[in-house]
Structure 1
Amino acid sequence: MAKKDTFRIVTRGKDNSLIIRDYPTADPLIHSYLQVGTDDCSTDLALRGMPIFRGLIGPMPEGKNVVRYETPEVFEALTKEWGSAKPRRRTRRKKEEIAEAVS
């Protein structure tokens, strides 16, 4: 189980662009946001015990050592984008095509 040692905050700028800030500890977040609890039910065991902040969605894993928090607006927009993305269609080769490729 990798230790999560980077805290990432994702917000929206005035021009509607994503602003991503990384912190080496949770201390700057504790001073900026009100901690309302700790995560005790994440399926990613490295997230258990991480702080939960009022006004942020998270913690959520991002890579091996990053804990991600998002504002509700960013979370909603990225979730909609993710949900509406069309999956790549896989094409299956017919038996004849496989036989031709082998011979």
Structure 2
Amino acid sequence: MAKKDTFRIVTRGTDGNLLIRDYMSCDPIIDSHQQIGTDDCSTDLELRGMPVFRGLIGPMPEGKTVVRYESPEVFESLTKEWGAAKPRRRTRRPSKKQVEAAATVS
């Protein structure tokens, strides 16, 4: 298993864009946020024991080596976007447009 060695903070700027900051340790985060506990129930075993901070949602895994924390506003908006995204439907047979396009190419 790869070690989680990058700590990522995702917030939203005043212009509405996402601001992403990466740190090589959690020390700078501890200096700017109050630690209120440690994660003891994550299904990702590498996150267990990671700090939990007041005002941030997390820790959550992002890839193999990144621990992600989000502001509550970013967490809510990204969760809504993720929930509203409709999965692409797969069809078993080609649509009429695909059949017509294939016929014109041949």
Instruction: Show the counterpart of 2:84.
Output: 84
SS of 1:21's equivalent in the other structure is strand
Whole-angstrom CA distance in 1 between matches of 2:48 and 2:93:
44
- For structure 1, the 5+ residue unaligned runs are 95-103
Q: Deviations over 1:64-83 (max 9, x none)?
A: 00000000000000000000
**Displacement, 1:13?**
0.3
Q: Deviations over 1:25-52 (max 9, x none)?
A: 0000000000000000000001000000
When normalised by structure 1's length, the TM-score is 0.88
Alignment of structure 1 residues 26-37 onto 2, 5 Å = 26-37=26-37
**Displacement, 1:11?**
0.3
Letter in 1 for 2:67: V
Letter in 1 for 2:17: S
In the alignment of these two chains, the number of paired residues is: 94
Q: Aligned residues: percent identity?
A: 80
- For structure 2, the 5+ residue unaligned runs are 95-106
Whole-angstrom CA distance in 2 between matches of 1:76 and 1:93:
38
Instruction: Show the counterpart of 1:57.
Output: 57
SS of 1:86's equivalent in the other structure is coil
Whole-angstrom CA distance in 1 between matches of 2:91 and 2:73:
37
Whole-angstrom CA distance in 1 between matches of 2:80 and 2:57:
15
Query: Deviating runs (4+, > 4 A) in structure 1?
Result: none
CA RMSD of superposed structures (Å): 1.1
Letter in 2 for 1:45: L
